[in-house]
Structure 1
Amino acid sequence: MDFEAVRTFVAVAEAGQFRKAAVDLSVTQQAVSKRIAALERHLGVRLFTRTPHGAEPTIDGQALLPHARELLRVADRAVASVRAGRRPLRVDVINSRGAVSGLMRDFHRAHPGTELDVLMMLDIDAAVAALRSGAIDASFRAVADPGRPLPEDIASVRVLDEPLQLLTGPGHALARARSVTVAELAGHRIWMPGIVPGTEWAAYYDDLVAAFGLTIEATGPNFGSDALLDTVADTPALATFMSEGTRLVWPAGHGLRRVPVTDPVPVYPHSLLWHRDNPHPALTVLRAHLAGVSPAPDAPGTWRPGWTRPH
């Protein structure tokens, strides 16, 4: 069914005149007549009766009118759902508890009128494909993967370097340290189940291991952060890496310790990615907000893989 014809039908029914409906729709009266005639042919019924005062819906026209109004409401909602500026800004974050999620919460508090959809995608390839298709508007990622630069239509800017910390149980040899150097971690078992080969965060940890001779074990099923915390708390020989901005809550009896890592401080470099032609007005607002609140990356005494994109 031609939605312009349906819209014209509703306009005539509400105006009571073809001429006034033409003015309301900013088209000619002839165009209104042609649209109504086409709709009548499509439906096989007469929709209006001409009167000295204008046009009145026939019985069939009266029956169609509420359905036509609902069709237009549905069509308008469908258009609004994909039109930039009239739908939520769709942003991909690497996890729901990290510093990037905190940045998005701060943005929402600073701009409460901006509707947001926050989601999590597996890796940078999926995120870039979603940016190029318009499925999402922005993504926080470490870029670029080794040997795989971003496509030319995808822009990026570094917005946050998130320090890593060592998370241990109370019985771990480093649990009471005020800080620990990267070199002192050599020989300790760092358990991080759920690292997915081929992702940019797997590449990050691969380079961290190679640079400092660390031992990171990704064995075993990933039952989520709660199970990870339970195991670390109960196993003196195990520790794990947790980013400084990760929000965690654990039972008081766990006695977990968060130990800063220094000399140098390993940081996970988050960049904001977006499609260069994305017209969503809230994307510009988000970029300006991040530029105003994010500390400068590559601070002295920090480490990141050489393949990650500079600021």
Structure 2
Amino acid sequence: MDLETVRTFVAAADAGQFQGAAAELSLTQQAVSKRIAALERDLGVRLFTRTPRGAELTIDGQAFLPHARELLRIAERAVTSVRTGRRPLRVDVIASRAAPSGLMRDFHRAHPGTELDVVWLFDIEAAVTALRNGEIDASFRAVAAPGRPLPEDIAFMRVLDEPLDLLTGPAHALAGARSVPLERLAGHRIWMPGVVPGTEWAAYYDDLVAEFGLTIEATGPNFGSDALLDTVADTPALATFMGAHTRLVWPAGHGLRRIPVTDPTPVYPHSLLWHRDNPHPALETLRAHLAARATSHDAAGTWTPGWVLPR
């Protein structure tokens, strides 16, 4: 069904005459008549009855009018959903408790007038595909893991080097430490069931293990952060790594300890990715916001894998 004929029908119904609809739509009265006639042929009913004062809706016209208005509203919403600057900025933050989610909360507080849609995409390939086809405007990732160069049409900026903490229960051998040198973790069991092979964070921890002789176990099902905290709290032999900006809440009885790792401090490199041709005006606002708050990268005393892109 042609939406312009529907629009013409609604205008004629509101005006009560074809001449008034023609003036509103900047058409000739003959063009309005032709459009109405075409719509009546499509529907197989008469929509108007001519009167000395103009045109009145028939019973069928009255029945069709609310649906015609809804068709036009749906069409407008469809256009608005993709029109640059009139739809929310869509950003992938990977997980709700991770550092990128906090970065976006800060952005929202600084720019409350910018509409946002926050999504969670697990895999970097899915995120890059979504950037390229316009499903999202930006994604937070660690780039670029070995064998995974970014496509040339995807741009990035490094926005946060997040230090890793060691998270232990109260009975762990390191629970009383104010900080722990990275080399002291060799021989300790570090349990991270969320490390999934093929992800960029798996590549990060693979390099960390290889360089410092650590033992990271990813065994068992991943029941989420709450189950992880329960197990670490109750198991003196286990610890886990946790980003310093990861937001977690646990019961007071757990007695968990977050201990900074030093000499060197492993930092997880968060970058913002976007498509080079994305014209959404809020994307530039987001980039400027993150750039103004970005800390120095590859600082002395920190460690990142050699494949991490520097800028």
Q: TM-score range by the shorter chain?
A: over 0.9
Deviations 1:30-83 (A, max 9, x none): 432332121011012222233444333233222221221122122222322333
**TM-score, length basis structure 1:** 0.94
Aligned to 1:13: 13
- Per the TM alignment, residue 267 of structure 1 is displaced from its structure 2 partner at its CA by 0.7
Report the 3-state secondary structure (helix = DSSP H, G, I; strand = E; otherwise coil) of the residue aligned with 1:239.
strand
**TM-score, length basis structure 2:** 0.94
Aligned to 2:63: 63
Structure 1 stretches of 5 or more lacking a match?
none
Question: What is the rounded CA distance, in whole Å, between the counterparts of 2:292 and 2:259 in structure 1?
Answer: 29
- Per the TM alignment, residue 298 of structure 1 is displaced from its structure 2 partner at its CA by 2.1
Between 149-158 and 43-52, the greater mean CA deviation after superposition:
43-52
Aligned to 1:79: 79
Structure 1 residues 26 and 147, CA gap change in structure 2 (3 angstroms): farther
Q: Does 1:167 find its partner at 2:175?
A: no
Structure 1 residues 145 and 30, CA gap change in structure 2 (3 angstroms): farther
Deviations 1:139-163 (A, max 9, x none): 1000112122111221111111111
- Per the TM alignment, residue 274 of structure 1 is displaced from its structure 2 partner at its CA by 1.1
Report the 3-state secondary structure (helix = DSSP H, G, I; strand = E; otherwise coil) of the residue aligned with 2:117.
strand
Read off the aligned partner of 2:300 and give its amino acid letter: P
The residue correspondences of 1:1-311 to structure 2 (distance < 5 A) are 1-311=1-311
Read off the aligned partner of 1:37 and give its amino acid letter: A
Read off the aligned partner of 2:149 and give its amino acid letter: P
Report the 3-state secondary structure (helix = DSSP H, G, I; strand = E; otherwise coil) of the residue aligned with 1:155.
strand
Read off the aligned partner of 1:186 and give its amino acid letter: A
Percentage identity across paired residues of the two chains: 81
Structure 1 runs of 4+ with >4 Å offset = none
Report the 3-state secondary structure (helix = DSSP H, G, I; strand = E; otherwise coil) of the residue aligned with 2:49.
strand
Question: What is the rounded CA distance, in whole Å, between the counterparts of 1:10 and 1:163 in structure 2?
Answer: 61
Between 177-186 and 60-69, the greater mean CA deviation after superposition:
60-69
Deviations 1:97-118 (A, max 9, x none): 1221111111111122222221
Question: What is the rounded CA distance, in whole Å, between the counterparts of 2:27 and 2:148 in structure 1?
Answer: 52
Question: What is the rounded CA distance, in whole Å, between the counterparts of 1:39 and 1:191 in structure 2?
Answer: 67
- Per the TM alignment, residue 190 of structure 1 is displaced from its structure 2 partner at its CA by 0.6
- Per the TM alignment, residue 222 of structure 1 is displaced from its structure 2 partner at its CA by 0.9
Question: What is the rounded CA distance, in whole Å, between the counterparts of 1:28 and 1:281 in structure 2?
Answer: 39
Question: What is the rounded CA distance, in whole Å, between the counterparts of 2:27 and 2:132 in structure 1?
Answer: 37
Question: What is the rounded CA distance, in whole Å, between the counterparts of 1:269 and 1:213 in structure 2?
Answer: 21
Report the 3-state secondary structure (helix = DSSP H, G, I; strand = E; otherwise coil) of the residue aligned with 1:266.
strand
Between 131-140 and 23-32, the greater mean CA deviation after superposition:
23-32
Structure 1 residues 303 and 45, CA gap change in structure 2 (3 angstroms): same
Report the 3-state secondary structure (helix = DSSP H, G, I; strand = E; otherwise coil) of the residue aligned with 2:21.
helix
Question: What is the rounded CA distance, in whole Å, between the counterparts of 1:63 and 1:191 in structure 2?
Answer: 65
Read off the aligned partner of 1:208 and give its amino acid letter: L
Question: What is the rounded CA distance, in whole Å, between the counterparts of 2:202 and 2:177 in structure 1?
Answer: 27
Read off the aligned partner of 1:197 and give its amino acid letter: P
CA-based RMSD? 1.6
Aligned residues: 311
Question: What is the rounded CA distance, in whole Å, between the counterparts of 2:210 and 2:23 in structure 1?
Answer: 72
Read off the aligned partner of 1:155 and give its amino acid letter: A
